Structure 1
Amino acid sequence: MSLHGIGLVFLAVLTGTASVLLAVALLRWWDRGPGRRGARLPQGLDGSLKPMVLLFRGQRLVDATPPARALLDRISAPESEWTRLLQWIGPRFPDAIDGLSRIGRAGRFECLGQSGTGSATLRLLVEQIDSDLLRITITDPQAEYAGIVVDSMSQQAMEEELDLLRRSLDQTPMLVWRQDAEERVTWANAAYLRKAEAQADEPIGWPLPRLLDSPRPVPGAGTRTRRASLTQNGAVFWYDCHSHPTGDQTMMFALPADAAVRAERSLREFVQTLTKTFADLPIGLAIFDRQRHLQLFNPALIDLTSLPTGFLTARPTLFDLLDKLRELRMVPEPKDFRSWRQQMSDLESAAATGHHVEEWSLPGGQTYRVTGRPHPDGAVAFLFEDITSEMSLTRRFRAEMTLGHSILDGLGDAVAVFGQDGQVIMSNRPYRELWPGAESLAEALACWQAGAEAGSGVAALGARLTQAETGLRDTGLMAGPQGQLLGWAVTKLGAGRQMVRFRLPDPAAAALADDKAMLASAG
């Protein structure tokens, strides 16, 4: 080859080399240019990201790539790493749990995940390295580079969580919406949209109408709550509205409160009914809470105790009320203040632990019955009842009973009244002295028969008291316990009661007969 030909070849080689170098330089300049500045090589080429691989010895995590650890950290569960991994794998790989149980025999298991709500499709590979060491690899078969695995799974997790949140908000019965600083509705859930569409006569558009008069958040005050009503088709719906400031906008939550409103209305009506009932009661009522402050009283308490209305409305304590009653001389006159305080402490303790009743004899001659009853949650109620007329009637009745017994005891005849069951319900002193221990009809018949010499009179008396036949005589004669002659008479009193009278020998008549006998013998 000539020198000229060698020169041409060298020139061609030099030109080609320069062209390659220039092309490489242009490519690098273009890759680093303004439109490509900051771009990175595909993940997996530069090794900046690793595939999702986990090593388990038994059920203890030995090692994992950063994407795998990030996945475990996103699963908010207090269990171990193995349990958290199974919690994530189970819904996505239905065959994985069964495959893991057979990994000891097969040594290798691989499956594809079902298509979930996300767009990523994953592959699970489980390999047994040795007897108790497992390597679990999760990849995306559709991804070209290993690093994209993390993005696919993150995308799937985010899409599933977003779908779950959307479904939850759309299915919740409460109204949820967001409004800006001008109180314009910028977002709402399905429940809010349904209510808004039911309220409007025409198709609704944005911004949506405000349905409830919600509370306005105060900067730095946190959550605020307010009850609001919504009228729809003539029916009133109640909501408990909560406001949460989020940046320059506000999230609003309206929880249905119809049941709470009905319960409060029923309770208010019940309390009003009780108040009206208490107002008509003639018994004074005072209810004290756990701290022994007056919570409820009725007008009868003022009428019975003469306590000032202003004093009662100030909710005094129990001991303040008792001290005020002592000043008004509406309590029993105490011997000294110490014994008075002890007596009132005993009253409070007895009323708090169980039913307690005592009577107060007031200095003015009145008598009050004070009843203490425990109430739920440590409360206690006191009832003040004026029983002056009742006590007067009782005393009068007791006096009349005492007078009647005195009259019966003063009679010369022995009298006993037998009830329908044969028991002695009333007797006088001569009867008890004549027939001691005869407190029933059976005992009386035994006593009469034991002291009788002629049994015809006792038999007639027993037949008259025990038999309901007609034609039996009501009077007769019988022998007494000392052999004296007694006359008896039976009288029906009604309600099955019978009265028996025994006429004793008249001492004056016997003395007169003795005198006559002596005179006759002397003459």
Structure 2
Amino acid sequence: MEVAVLSVLAGTVSVLLAVAVLRLLDRRPTGSARPGRGDLLEPRLQPMVFLFRDRRLVDATQPARTLLGRIPAPTDEWDRLLQWIGPRFHDAPARLDQISRLGRIELLGNQGTGSATLRLLAEDLGGGILRLTITDPEAEQAGLVVDSMSQQAMEDELDLLRRALDQTPMLVWRQDAEDRVTWANAAYLRRAEALSDGPLGWPLPRLLDSPKPVPGAGTTTRRARLDSQGVISWYDCHSHGMGDQEMMFAVPADAAVRAERSLREFVQTLTKTFADLPIGLAIFDRQRNLQLFNPALIDLTGLPTGFLTARPTLFDLLDKLRELRMVPEPKDFRSWRQQMNNLESAAATGHHVETWSLPGGQTYRVTGRPHPDGAVAFLFEDITSEISLTRKFRADLLLGSHVLDGIEDALVVFAPNGKLLVRNRSYGQLWGDEGETLADALAAWEDRVEAGPGLAALRARLTEKHEGRGDNGVMAGPSGQLLGWSVTGLAGGRQMLRFRASELGQLTKDAEPADADRIDLAGAVGAK
């Protein structure tokens, strides 16, 4: 029993001693040979150092090589490094050219996004060897610890943003207060390389005359042109202030410029066409203010040019026309106003045409047409000569009708398709006014007279090929009289048929034998 108790006590003492020894080891100073647990967790900041011989890279730390690998440029390491250093240390390219004389150069980076308090140390080691060291003084003693997941997320986002800017078709760059380009995307670099005679240096050339941002106004926009060996390219440049620097975005605008030029040319063509039109044109917007008119409107209405250029309303223009006696004379002002209201509403809802007989004897046709967005257009056309010609034509037609009706012979004219075109009063009295075609006329003739050689010859002459057939003949009339007929060809394939009472007289049942023989002879002949 006593032996067991002693064994337990000995084991407990051993464990306590071991714990005490471990605690003493953890409290050793950091200068001891064995690293502490805190040293194992604290990351070591590796400097960014480049070693060049005659501007050719001979050695570099891992962070330095990683930086060179992320600079997209088809040049050597020295030019790629200057491309990265230039925006962050403005005087670095010029000062590095003097390193052999100065021996040592130390520069601080510009204050701002992406270049906050960086330090560049350049040392000439002799024999053409140059060592460049880039450090961040604020991060050296900060003791920052970044977990791998956050670092990976930031790198992925940075890679996404870099790829997006490099693949965008627009030109993106940043410039300082002295208009020096401090950063540019891949599209800008490609365009600059195409315009450059040799390899690009730093600072990059300015391609466009971009607008200056207005303080407090946000983004400023301006259109700029780029001339590349006679080929003009257009860009919409947007400028946005970022502290003491400016971000520029140039969006290609060639399609917009072509569309605007085509629209401008189209408007000019329309303007010239409207100027040459003999019809007066007036276009009003949805508020019924005059927006467009042509010179013919002034010539037709006598409206003053100053009055039209002042963009009057539709009703002001109509009132002015009323003062100039260029509208139909109204019975009273109320009926005039109602008529103009009806004109405006009818023109706004659909095609509307009115004929104005003016007090001066002129006749105008006023046409109203709706336009998009509630606009309306009015066309004023002088149709005085047209109305006069129409009236004269109608008078000539009436005169011709009276002349035909005064002829004792029955006349009728048929079109090539058989349509009845003209008939006089004697024809209507003889055969009636029914029917509008040759077929209807033939049916009426056969219904009112007995069939005979004369009627058959007339049918054949009008309906069949009449080569070798006679153009006149004799047939029985509807009242028993003998009718002589004759067919005359007119222009356009039309045919005129004339019926005339025959000299043989009336055909009756009580006719004398001698007369009957003459009648039978005429009927047998049919056509001469």
Q: TM-score range by the shorter chain?
A: 0.5 to 0.7
AA paired with 1:208? L
1:154-208 Cα distance to aligned partner (Å, 9 max, x none): 1000011111111111221111111222222222222222223333334433332
Structure 1 residues 43 and 251, CA gap change in structure 2 (3 angstroms)? farther
Q: Which residue in 2 is equivalent to 1:254? A: 250
The yes-or-no answer on 1:192 pairing with 2:188 is yes
The yes-or-no answer on 1:375 pairing with 2:371 is yes
Distance 2:449 2:190 in 1: 104
Distance 1:427 1:332 in 2: 40
Structure 1 residues 480 and 162, CA gap change in structure 2 (3 angstroms)? same
Check whether the contact 1:490–1:500 (CA below 8 A) recurs between aligned residues: yes
Choose the corresponding residue for 2:467, options 461, 467, 470. 470
Q: Which residue in 2 is equivalent to 1:279? A: 275
Distance 2:188 2:418 in 1: 83
Choose the corresponding residue for 2:237, options 238, 241, 252. 241
Query: Partner of 2:236: helix, strand, or coil?
Result: strand
Structure 1 position 336, deviation (Å)? 2.4
Structure 1 position 22, deviation (Å)? 12
Q: How does 1:176-187 map to 2 (within 5 A)?
A: 176-187=172-183
The yes-or-no answer on 1:314 pairing with 2:328 is no
Structure 1 position 149, deviation (Å)? 10
Q: Which residue in 2 is equivalent to 1:482? A: 479
Structure 1 position 401, deviation (Å)? 0.2
The yes-or-no answer on 1:387 pairing with 2:383 is yes
Check whether the contact 1:352–1:372 (CA below 8 A) recurs between aligned residues: yes
Q: Which residue in 2 is equivalent to 1:421? A: 417
Distance 1:43 1:485 in 2: 141
The yes-or-no answer on 1:448 pairing with 2:445 is yes
Distance 1:252 1:312 in 2: 45
Check whether the contact 1:449–1:455 (CA below 8 A) recurs between aligned residues: no
Choose the corresponding residue for 1:503, options 500, 504, 524. 500
Structure 1 position 421, deviation (Å)? 2.0
**Which stretch of the first structure deviates more once superposed, 454-463 or 405-414?**
454-463
What root-mean-square deviation, in Å, do the aligned CA atoms of Structure 1 and Structure 2 show?
A: 3.1
Structure 1 position 211, deviation (Å)? 1.9
Choose the corresponding residue for 1:461, options 458, 462, 465. 458
Q: Which residue in 2 is equivalent to 1:212? A: 208
Distance 1:375 1:215 in 2: 39
1:337-396 Cα distance to aligned partner (Å, 9 max, x none): 232233223223332333222222222111122222233333332222211111111110
The yes-or-no answer on 1:364 pairing with 2:360 is yes
**Which stretch of the first structure deviates more once superposed, 465-474 or 296-305?**
465-474
Distance 2:244 2:263 in 1: 41
Check whether the contact 1:196–1:211 (CA below 8 A) recurs between aligned residues: yes
Structure 1 runs not aligned, ≥5 long: 1-19, 31-39, 46-147, 510-523
AA paired with 1:319? F
Identity of aligned residues (%): 75
Structure 1 position 24, deviation (Å)? 9.7
Distance 2:393 2:355 in 1: 19
Distance 1:497 1:251 in 2: 84
**Which stretch of the first structure deviates more once superposed, 462-471 or 323-332?**
462-471
Choose the corresponding residue for 1:352, options 326, 345, 348. 348
Structure 1 position 23, deviation (Å)? 11
Q: How does 1:221-232 map to 2 (within 5 A)?
A: 221-232=217-228
1:231-258 Cα distance to aligned partner (Å, 9 max, x none): 1222111111111111222111111111
Choose the corresponding residue for 2:404, options 404, 408, 424. 408
Q: Which residue in 1 is equivalent to 2:333? A: 337
Structure 1 position 404, deviation (Å)? 0.7
Q: How does 1:86-97 map to 2 (within 5 A)?
A: none
**Which stretch of the first structure deviates more once superposed, 365-374 or 285-294?**
285-294
Query: Partner of 1:464: helix, strand, or coil?
Result: helix
Structure 1 position 334, deviation (Å)? 2.1
Check whether the contact 1:245–1:251 (CA below 8 A) recurs between aligned residues: yes
Query: Partner of 2:147: helix, strand, or coil?
Result: helix
**Which stretch of the first structure deviates more once superposed, 160-169 or 303-312?**
303-312
Distance 1:469 1:185 in 2: 97
Structure 1 position 322, deviation (Å)? 2.2
Structure 1 residues 21 and 425, CA gap change in structure 2 (3 angstroms)? closer
Structure 1 position 449, deviation (Å)? 2.8
Q: Which residue in 1 is equivalent to 2:61? A: none
Distance 1:22 1:423 in 2: 131
User: Size of the alignment, in residue pairs?
Assistant: 376
1:9-66 Cα distance to aligned partner (Å, 9 max, x none): xxxxxxxxxxx999999959x9xxxxxxxxx968999xxxxxxxxxxxxxxxxxxxxx
Distance 2:429 2:186 in 1: 98
Q: TM-score w.r.t. structure 2 length?
A: 0.65
Distance 2:154 2:24 in 1: 46
Q: Which residue in 2 is equivalent to 1:270? A: 266
Structure 1 position 419, deviation (Å)? 1.7
Check whether the contact 1:414–1:504 (CA below 8 A) recurs between aligned residues: no
Distance 1:345 1:295 in 2: 20
Structure 1 residues 22 and 447, CA gap change in structure 2 (3 angstroms)? closer
Distance 1:305 1:422 in 2: 49
Distance 2:448 2:232 in 1: 92
Query: Partner of 1:495: helix, strand, or coil?
Result: helix
Check whether the contact 1:217–1:224 (CA below 8 A) recurs between aligned residues: yes
Structure 1 position 260, deviation (Å)? 0.8
Q: How does 1:27-66 map to 2 (within 5 A)?
A: none
**Which stretch of the first structure deviates more once superposed, 154-163 or 329-338?**
329-338
Q: How does 1:288-307 map to 2 (within 5 A)?
A: 288-307=284-303
Structure 2 runs not aligned, ≥5 long: 1-21, 32-36, 43-143, 507-528
Distance 2:347 2:23 in 1: 106
Check whether the contact 1:412–1:504 (CA below 8 A) recurs between aligned residues: no
Q: Which residue in 2 is equivalent to 1:92? A: none
